[in-house]
């Protein structure tokens, strides 16, 4: 199938999301769609799939114009999409979600054996570890993403639109996905691929289209003619900048939080570390190492043994509210949409949630304007793209929603901040700002625990890196900010454990 978009425009109140955009998607190609947060990528995909109607312009399949009034029409025409926001039904099983569009029945009842078989067929191509009968709400963020991809694949479409399919999955799963996409390319499927990870685009794409402020900055340029620098300057209008992390002197004796032999009900054993004032302590590990779980257990009443000491006193923290209120510890969750944001509330209200206590003069009464004054600097600094602070967060682009949830925590009056995968879905320009901002809040005396699967990010930002594997801390690496040596040191710790206990590796 050859799918073309000509001079498509789309406006929302206060925003021209697309301005006469063109795209030519050919059979048997992987076409990358690139651009900053808010550039219009997801809107373009939603116009193709009938979620939105264009204000002008047209979409054609093999030369004839099509008009889809709903996503169902697009599916019927052979177009399948993985949207950026999750579209799974949390209380349905993995199998039911994958087969949702066409549940197999037997004598009028859903044929569950067939549902499982169907689901396995696509799921196994990506990850054999996911149970088709598990309820989706029990899965990790990475697993949900895989289910979404399997669901899109199961439609066996001639045209596949993938909006940041790799945002929350690891390199390992991405490699499996890429093998599959290459196979589909061989079968003549036309594929559109959105990602903020430039390495991925250079690894898989044949051609690239770039959007900037809703306009074409490039259209269908062969990847062989594109360099990283050129692509970056097409996206952001200037060259890539390396983050400069503020120099700090950290006093090893000034410990603000310490774990001594912690065990948790989630399965952690012998967790010991100390976090110093103004330090950025990295927590690195492969998916399943238990990093996010450690944060959630420490702050969520799941410590079953050992001691957690905050500012010299033993702490028993029951929930996140207590963590912030009584211990001034904030946690920026990896699942920002699930745990971090209220989509129907405005940008201002979402950011201000954590600072209400600080700015409320009288209980429950917030002086007019105070909220906006407290919020604005963070919104500016992270360049949250929004027509105003009163915009509902749900109307922002995916990356801008992420920025809001991070701004919220940076605005909070926390002295210890645990930040989980801060730059997932964030464009390369803001990623640099965010790294510098983390450095600055640390320079201001805040202690940070940084959980990240992004090794270059870890090596740029962290002072010290704890390596986790199988719910234990298996090593500590001083970061010299040199990629080669530090990444090798980290991986060698992981490999050493995997070799000494091969059964625990899976
Ligand atoms: N339903 C909506 N209502 C109002 N504005 C919207 C809506 N959907 C998108 N927008 C706006 O349109 C612009 C383009 O958004 P879009 O989601 O297409 O960006 P994107 O390129 O996908 O960004 P990201 O990388 O962050 O996902 C943004 O300014 C966004 O706020
Ligand atoms: Mg998007």
CATH number for the domain harbouring residue 424: 3.40.50.300
Last residue of a domain, one of 413, 435, 458: 413
Name the phi and psi angles at 423, rounded to 5. -110, 15
Any long-range contacts for 220-228 (C-beta under 8 Å, 24+ apart)?
220/23, 220/24, 220/31, 223/32, 228/198, 228/202
pLDDT at res. 129: 83
271 CA distance to ligand 1 middle (Å):
42
What SS3 state is found at 130?
Answer: coil
| Whether 474 and 461 share a structural domain | yes
- Name the residue of 43, 336, 398, 402 to mutate for ligand 1: max ligand atoms within 8 A of Cβ: 43
CA distance 133 to 113: 10
CA atoms within 13 A on the CB side of 338: 13
Judge whether 241 lies within some domain. no
CA distance 97 to 110: 13
Tally of domains in the chain: 3
| Whether 322 and 180 share a structural domain | no
| Whether 352 and 379 share a structural domain | yes
Query: pLDDT tens digits for the chain (506 residues)?
Result: 999 999 999 999 999 999 999 999 999 999 999 999 999 999 999 999 999 999 999 999 999 999 999 999 999 999 999 999 888 999 999 999 999 887 788 888 888 898 999 899 999 988 888 999 999 988 888 889 899 999 999 999 999 999 999 988 877 788 889 999 999 999 999 999 999 999 999 999 999 999 999 999 999 999 999 999 999 999 999 888 889 998 899 999 999 999 999 999 999 999 999 999 999 999 998 767 899 999 999 999 999 999 999 999 999 999 988 998 899 999 888 776 666 677 778 888 877 776 655 545 444 555 667 777 777 887 888 888 999 888 998 899 888 888 888 888 877 778 999 999 989 889 999 899 889 989 988 999 999 999 998 888 999 999 999 999 999 999 999 999 999 999 999 999 988 998 887 654 44
pLDDT at res. 505: 43
| Any ligand 1 atom below 6 A from CB of 38 | yes
pLDDT at res. 506: 43
Judge whether 336 lies within some domain. no
| Whether 162 and 91 share a structural domain | yes
pLDDT at res. 361: 46
Judge whether 372 lies within some domain. yes
| Whether 175 and 306 share a structural domain | no
Last residue of a domain, one of 396, 413, 430: 413
| Whether 266 and 364 share a structural domain | no
CA distance 174 to 167: 10
pLDDT at res. 410: 78
Q: Which two three-digit tokens encode residue 108?
A: 């009028």
CA distances in angstroms from 114 to 98, 104, 110, 446, listed in the order given: 12, 7, 9, 54
pLDDT at res. 362: 46
| Ligand 1 atom with the shortest distance to the CA of 43 | 18
Contact criterion met (CB below 8 Å) for 13 and 55 = no
Q: Range of 408's domain? A: 343-413
For ligand 1, atom 18: residue with the closest CA: 40
Judge whether 43 lies within some domain. yes
Residues near 388 by Cβ (< 8 Å), separated by ≥ 6?
14, 347
Tokens 């640099």 correspond to: 432
Judge whether 242 lies within some domain. no
| Whether 450 and 387 share a structural domain | no
Judge whether 243 lies within some domain. no
Judge whether 248 lies within some domain. no
| Whether 380 and 496 share a structural domain | no
| Whether 231 and 299 share a structural domain | no
| Whether 164 and 189 share a structural domain | yes
| Whether 282 and 365 share a structural domain | no
Residues near 245 by Cβ (< 8 Å), separated by ≥ 6?
435, 436, 438, 439, 460, 461
- Ligand nearest the Cα of residue 387 is 1
For ligand 1, atom 2: residue with the closest CA: 395
**What letter would DSSP give residue 246?**
P
| Ligand 1 atom with the shortest distance to the CA of 13 | 4
CA distance 37 to 35: 7
Query: Which one, of 229, 212, 159, 239, lies nearest residue 41 by Cα?
Result: 212
The strand pairing partners of 276, in sequence order, are: 255
| Any ligand 1 atom below 6 A from CB of 41 | yes
Note the helical H segments in 205-355: 228-236, 291-299, 320-327, 347-352
211 CA distance to ligand 2 middle (Å):
11
- Ligand nearest the Cα of residue 428 is 1
- Ligand nearest the Cα of residue 43 is 1
| Whether 145 and 44 share a structural domain | yes
| Any ligand 1 atom below 6 A from CB of 483 | no
Judge whether 245 lies within some domain. no
Residues near 364 by Cβ (< 8 Å), separated by ≥ 6?
none
Last residue of a domain, one of 236, 268, 294: 236
Query: Which one, of 375, 335, 381, 332, lies nearest residue 355 by Cα?
Result: 375
Residues near 506 by Cβ (< 8 Å), separated by ≥ 6?
none
């Amino acid at each position: 199938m050859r799918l073309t978009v000509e001079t498509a425009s789309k406006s929302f109140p206060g925003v021209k999301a697309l301005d006469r955009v063109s795209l030519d998607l050919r059979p048997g190609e992987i076409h990358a769609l690139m651009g900053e947060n808010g550039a219009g990528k997801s809107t373009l995909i939603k116009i193709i799939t009938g979620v939105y109607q264009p204000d002008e312009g047209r979409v054609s399949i093999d030369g004839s114009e099509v008009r889809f009034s709903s996503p169902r029409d697009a599916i019927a025409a052979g177009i399948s999409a993985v949207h950026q926001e999750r579209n799974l039904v949390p209380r349905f099983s993995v199998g039911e979600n994958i087969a949702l569009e066409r549940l197999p029945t037997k004598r009028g009842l859903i044929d569950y054996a067939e549902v499982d078989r169907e689901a396995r067929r696509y799921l196994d191509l990506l990850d054999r570890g996911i149970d088709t009968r598990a309820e989706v709400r029990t899965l990790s963020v990475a697993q949900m993403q895989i289910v979404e991809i399997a669901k899109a694949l199961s439609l066996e479409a001639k045209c596949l639109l993938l909006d940041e399919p790799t945002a929350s999955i690891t390199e390992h799963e991405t490699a499996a996905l890429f093998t599959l996409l290459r196979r589909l390319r061989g079968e003549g499927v036309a594929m559109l691929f959105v990602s903020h990870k430039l390495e991925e685009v250079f690894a898989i794409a044949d051609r690239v289209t770039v959007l900037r402020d809703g306009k074409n900055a490039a259209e269908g340029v062969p990847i062989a003619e594109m360099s990283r620098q050129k692509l970056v300057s097409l996206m952001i209008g200037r060259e890539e900048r390396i983050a400069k992390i503020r120099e700090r002197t950290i006093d090893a004796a000034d410990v603000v939080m310490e774990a001594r032999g912690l065990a948790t009900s989630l399965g952690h054993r012998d967790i010991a570390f100390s976090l110093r004032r103004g330090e950025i302590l990295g927590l690195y590990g492969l998916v399943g190492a238990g990093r996010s779980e450690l944060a959630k257990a420490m702050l969520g009443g799941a410590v079953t043994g050992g001691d957690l000491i905050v500012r010299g006193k033993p702490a028993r923290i029951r929930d996140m509210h207590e963590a912030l209120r009584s211990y001034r510890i904030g946690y920026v969750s990896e699942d920002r949409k699930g745990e971090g944001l209220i989509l129907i509330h405005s940008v201002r209200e979402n950011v201000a949630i954590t600072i209400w206590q600080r700015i409320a003069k009288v209980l429950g009464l917030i002086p007019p304007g105070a909220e906006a004054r407290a919020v604005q600097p963070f919104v500016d600094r992270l360049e949250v793209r929004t027509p105003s602070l009163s915009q509902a967060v749900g109307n922002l682009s995916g990356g801008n929603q992420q920025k809001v949830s991070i701004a919220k925590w940076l605005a909070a009056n926390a002295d210890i901040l645990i930040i989980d995968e801060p730059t997932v879905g964030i464009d390369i320009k803001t990623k640099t700002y965010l790294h510098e901002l983390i450095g600055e809040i640390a320079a201001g005396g805040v202690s940070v625990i940084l959980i990240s699967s992004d090794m270059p990010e870890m090596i740029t930002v962290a002072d010290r890196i704890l390596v986790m594997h199988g719910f234990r801390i298996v090593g500590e690496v001083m970061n010299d900010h040199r990629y080669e040596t530090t990444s090798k040191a980290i991986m060698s710790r992981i490999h050493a454990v995997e070799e000494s206990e091969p059964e625990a590796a899976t």
